[in-house]
Structure 1
Amino acid sequence: MKRQTISLIAMLSLLPLPALAHPHIFIDAKFEVVAAPDGSIAELRNVWRFDEVFSSSVLLDFDKNGNMTLDPGELKAVGKTVRNSLAQYDYYTNVTSNGKAVAMAKPEEIRADYKDDALILTFSLKPLQKTSLKGTTIFGIYDKTLYTAVDFAADSDMATSGEAFARCKRKVVRPNSDEIIAQNQATLTSMFFNDPMGTNYSQLVATRLEVQC
């Protein structure tokens, strides 16, 4: 189990090497912001489907009985490992309310599944402090180190639910990476892309959900 845990953490906790500062793991994501009746953020629901290469590596590391699948106990171990290893990266979740960062609590559980050769993780995050949907709230799911690429195939994959959103306007923003590079040409250095602690480039090019209430 120790070897398994180290292996998955190494893959998911973004090894701090400049050569790794581009995507090695790919996630097809779905995201939903749920509003509470009082107009605050109740929770952020996430479903992540990992690429087959990464999924197969997780299978090899956690398939203790060698039956080429992940049984309930093995899936539980995967979820527990990811829950602990991604805490320092805020589960790739970045939320701001009127320009101020909104801190999220650690998820109670990350549920893991393995279907059609893909690892699927499902979990919810809740704000540490009550955060009302007033003014501009921006939701982004991205890896600051660029090691993991998080993709939302359709705008509907960044969803909202709850009556409070009836008074809000929402839009999904998909920045053009070529335009971002052109706009930041003067500051593009090797460290801009390769800083293992992450750069603002990942934030600039990330797909995000903007809500105006």
Structure 2
Amino acid sequence: MAAVLAAGPALSHPHVFVDGGVDFVFGNDQQIEALKVTWLYDEFETLYTLSVLELSLNDAGGLDEADRLELVRRLSDWPDDFDGSAHLSIEGEPVPLAWPEGLDARMVDGRLLITFTRPLEEPVKLAGRPAEVAFYESTYFFAFSVTNPPQLIGAADPCSATVIPNDPNDQPEELRATLAALGREETPGIANVGALFADRIMVTCAS
């Protein structure tokens, strides 16, 4: 994956646009055990990724099973600086997540769809404690958008999830202009700038 992200045409920040979202996996006693993450790449990045990995679409616009499995194998080799895209906090405190596992990949209407799971290092009881997932990549090279309604898998009633879309226009025009002027090989000088442009999911469960 690191090789896939390393090159490409010069564009303004962000360079890659990804739809998708985050589902929440609950265990016993209203404990969050894992996040299930979905990425749906834009069409350009889909073709670019397949080209870099030397994989081709078949006549039906999909991937032969051997190529799909090779894609899963290659993408499962996460880069050392992978920062997650799904950033979980409970009552404002960051919650550590384990390394991604169970990656799967397939084509959907000409776009590459990837799913994977981020287990919590320790399950956390949510009852009466608000949780938030911010959906972003720290350098804003990727622009993630929550387009899938979040699912609360295994949650007992009453729990609810609300998507809070980000409006880029809420950020200062100077910041937006600075990001737009960056080349593909340049990194913003603002630490964790992607968080400023993150869609967020709020989850609450009654105590």
Q: TM-score, normalised by structure 2?
A: 0.76
8 Å CA contact 2:50–2:56 kept in 1: the answer is no
Residues 84-134 of structure 1: CA deviation (Å, up to 9, x unaligned): 335532331200112221121123221111243211111121101122214
Which residue of the other structure, out of 48, 64, 67, is the alignment partner of 1:57? 48
Instruction: Choose the corresponding residue for 1:207, options 177, 185, 199.
Output: 199
1:75 aligns with 2:75: no
Dislocated runs of 4+, deviation >4 Å: 64-69, 187-191, 193-198
Match of 1:44 in 2: 35
Give the superposition deviation at 1:167: 3.3
Q: Distance in 2 between matches of 1:200 and 1:7?
A: 22
Which residue is equivalent to 1:138?
A: 132
Correspondence list, 1:169-208, <5 A: 169-181=160-172, 190=178, 195-196=187-188, 199-208=191-200
Q: Map of 1:108-119 to 2, 5 A cutoff?
A: 108-119=101-112
Report which stretch shifted further, 143-152 or 74-83: 74-83
State whether residues 146 and 202 of structure 1, in contact with CA within 8 Å, keep that contact through their aligned partners in structure 2. yes
Matched residue SS, 2:107: strand
Q: How does the TM-score come out when normalised to structure 1?
A: 0.74
Task: Report the counterpart of residue 21 of structure 2 in structure 1.
Answer: 30
* 1:175 partner amino acid: N
**Partners in 2 of 1:87 and 1:110 — Cα distance?**
16
1:161 equivalent in alignment to 2:153: yes
Shift of residue 53, structure 1, vs aligned partner? 0.7
Identity %: 23
Which has the larger share of strand? 2
